[in-house]
Amino acid sequence: MAGSAAVKMSAEEIEAEIQRVELETKTLALERAKEENEQWKARKAEKAKRNAVTQSDLAADRRKEHAKTVGCRHRQGGFQDSFPKKGKGDPCISAHKMPFGELRLQCNRCQLEVYEPNPSQRNVKGYRDKHGRTWDEQKEVYDKMLEFWEEGGLHMSEGPQFTALTAEGIPFRPALV
């Protein structure tokens, strides 16, 4: 009987040891999970910080580009380093016909690039382009640039042209997204 009690006691000790080891394993797993969470939070905060810096840089670039294009007269002449570009000569607008027929106009001095606004976006509430202009403001700038291009008489470059067709074979102009 004494041997049986010793074996029973050993079984209880083994069970207690197993529970102690399982508890220690779960405690270590919890610590590891907490550590991973802290690392993840630190990576997320660093990513957010980098994103904020990037967004700030992009906003500064947009403001600089906007200031450059607003002050430009889109004309030849003046001094190369003058800012804003105060040319008084012929317009310096180039035109390129895009593959689906859109006309891209660009000032060769300030690099302002405009396309005819898509009519389907005219009534979209809150729509603005990358410069923050409404559809009507975009159309006004486009019309002014088109007038300058026509006045300047620079030739239009044209790449290969494509016609988009509906399933019924009717040509259409694809919407610019």
Residue identified by tokens 């002449």 is 77
Q: Are residues 79 and 41 in the same domain?
A: no
Is the entire prediction scored with pTM above 0.75?
no
Q: Are residues 60 and 113 in the same domain?
A: no
**Spacing of C-alpha 86 from chain mean position:** 32
Q: Are residues 80 and 150 in the same domain?
A: yes
Identify whether 174 is part of a domain. no
Q: Please report how many Cα atoms fall inside a 13 Å half-sphere around the Cα of residue 158, on the Cβ side.
A: 10
DSSP state string for the chain? -HHHHHHHHHHHHHHHHHHHHHHHHHHHHHHHHHHHHHHHHHHHHHHHHHHHHHHHHHHHHHHHHHHHHHH---BS-S-TT-SS----SSB-EEEEE-TTS-EEEEETTT--EEEPPPGGGTT-TT---TTS--HHHHHHHHHHHHHHHHHHTPPEEE-----EE-TTS-EEPPPP-
Per-residue pLDDT at 79: 62
Total domain count, the chain? 2
Lowest average pLDDT, out of 83-92, 97-106, 159-168, goes to: 83-92
Give per-residue pLDDT as tens, 132-149. Answer: 888 888 899 889 888 888
Could you give the dihedral angle defined by the CA atoms of residues 63, 65, 66 and 69, in that order, rounded to the nearest 10 degrees?
160
Single residue among 53, 71, 89 that ends a domain in this structure = 71
Per-residue pLDDT at 65: 80
Per-residue pLDDT at 1: 47
Identify whether 167 is part of a domain. no
Per-residue pLDDT at 45: 95
Give per-residue pLDDT as tens, 101-130. Answer: 788 888 888 888 888 888 888 888 888 887
- Average pLDDT across the chain, whole number: 81
Q: Are residues 82 and 133 in the same domain?
A: yes
**What is the average pLDDT across 12-38?**
93
Q: Please report how many Cα atoms fall inside a 13 Å half-sphere around the Cα of residue 55, on the Cβ side.
A: 6
Identify whether 169 is part of a domain. no
Per-residue pLDDT at 52: 94
State the residue range of the domain holding 13.
Answer: 1-71
Q: Are residues 157 and 78 in the same domain?
A: yes
